[in-house]
Chains A and B, each alone.
Chain A
């Protein structure tokens, strides 16, 4: 390979193919390779043999792990683009400018791979474009989501494209797309707010199927608010990991400044969590669901809301008082797990709650491995881009 060729400079980080492959022969990459091979096997199996043999989906449980994890959890955790881009571009809080680009990138990857995973869940994936230009189901919440996903991916692409064109060395294009950035953010806020709440709205129709502790007219609002705190906690988690693994990519790293910004994010996280908890209490009181609290589903509900909302609030207050950024990081991790638990509860565990546990849906290993593969792909693409483009500085 020629010195200075595009492939060598832009793709192989200035190394020859041999050197490049050698530098990637690590344990983590080996693990990723194993996960991916299982995942690709599952994908192929699903495509050739169908959903029946590949999954444990049934007529009683038409939606399983792929919808719950890849779409509901994935999209909620991919929300940092929304929260951070809004703060930085719209409210002009420039202190957090360094957080914006990685946040936008993770949103972009999160959405693209969520839609990619969805292709395996759709029975006739090759018809997915029907919803965009062929036949419109205007009364469907899923229609709103499909269109909002489509638009939001475009918005993330526009927000990310300056970094991309900079990498290619196309300064003029970079300039043009930088100007679109703020407009993309404006529409991004509208679009993201719309579909994050709509994901909760999907379950409004399942009034008789979802346990009363989780079913509420406020489901869309709960999904929206939890997407916001999921977004903030993901920014904290992501920046922590980035600073650990990509420290060489960050110019002029100042630890004290980074710690104080993490604490700032922690404050925002605590405020949104408190708002959420208050609304949850209002919801409990409004539907007069107290008597469900001491049933098995009640314990699950308490586990979710005390363990993953109330306790993180306490931890965050404590960490802000004592100025301990490390505790903010732990809390952010708990909060993100809580969002995962919440989405699983609404869409799987509290769904068809009257069915005995042993007849409920459990994913097959193929469903799990496909989802793990999607996560791995997101991480690998994130790493690939961060190492090449000006994302972290």
Chain B
């Protein structure tokens, strides 16, 4: 740990000396971007290997419902996530006070970074703030998984999408593929950088505990359970409070469906959610791969024939 801290300090110095901080370094203004040495990946992957060896089959994957009308923006979920996953953290008070502080972290729309698996952003409808928690959606058919050329991702029976740090080559194509812009990268680790993202607290839910963020939420904005039950809950809530919610469960069908489901009183597009259709993202590349393979096989025949023809012609000539 000491060594890591030293390296980070050294890097900061090196940055200032080489003047790199002047050149568009804005992208790294979040300190969590500098984070390295993620521990959650390996811990969860080892857990997954153990469970796989035990051969436990779950009937149905889990899901989480996030009710945006209930979220109060206390950012405790961020704190709990950092705490559980051993990411760089600050005292809980600093998270809680940002709602009323000026200037505040909410002034800027944030995304996930190497040391930050979940972030809460603030939007406004008129004068009313709407807080939107953002983390890996744990797609049913994940784009990152299909994009990975060494198959380093796994969609588990529990619903979690997990990352295997011992296979990753570091091409970062998963980051391009993810429609929610979730996977982040340890850019400041020169030798063993990892992709980092929320694991849906795989190491907790497999032990009958709630994900850290769900557990700490003081506003009861999140519910964890089997996906079909969670969907039913979402439908019920929308049905019973028709004025409060719009008729849309984000994640029910988006990109083929996700394990995090959102209900809201405001259009999702106004809250930074990408507009996605029902097609799972991997389908886009699978169609292409299929076409290419067909064309390669079809093209092979005439090409081989031409080659034979040219060889025999040159022999005669």
Contacts and interface: CB of A to CB of B under 8 A. Distances in A.
A362 B24 CA distance: 7
Interface string B279-317: 001101110110010011001100110110011010000
B147 interface: yes
Contacts, number: 213
A140 interface: yes
A140 B284 CA distance: 11
Given A59-B113, A60-B111, A205-B176, A139 B150 contact: no
Given A130-B169, A197-B292, A137 B149 contact: yes
Contacts of A274: none
A63 B28 contact: no
Contacts of A60: 27, 111, 181
B313 A141 contact: no
A51 B191 CA distance: 10
B288 A201 contact: yes
Contacts of A136: 150-151
Given A56-B23, A186-B304, A50 B147 contact: no
B24 A56 contact: yes
Interface string B145-174: 111111110000000000000011111110
B310 A58 contact: no
A3 to B, nearest CB: 41
B190 A48 contact: yes
Interface in A137-172: 137-146
Q: How large is the interface on A (under 10, 10 to 19, 20 to 34, 35 or more residues)?
A: 35 or more
A4 interface: no
Contacts of A139: 145-146, 282, 285-286, 289
A176 interface: no
A90 B188 contact: no
Contacts of A50: 11, 187-191, 193
From DSSP, what is the main secondary structure of chain A's interface residues?
helix
A49 interface: yes
A374 B53 CA distance: 47
A183 interface: yes
A52 to B, nearest CB: 3
A135 interface: yes
A189 B295 CA distance: 12
Contacts of B311: 182
B276 interface: yes
A62 B275 contact: no
Contacts of B214: none
A140 B148 contact: yes
A130 B145 CA distance: 16
Nearest to A140: B149
Given A51-B193, A124-B168, A124-B193, A131 B149 contact: yes
B296 A190 contact: yes
A137 B151 contact: yes
Given A205-B281, A206-B177, A134 B172 contact: no
A364 interface: yes
The 5 closest A-B pairs by CB, nearest first: A123-B170, A58-B27, A52-B187, A50-B190, A62-B172
Given A59-B33, A127-B170, A205-B177, 12 more contacts: A55-B187, A59-B113, A62-B173, A63-B176, A90-B310, A124-B192, A125-B169, A130-B169, A137-B150, A182-B310, A194-B296, A206-B177
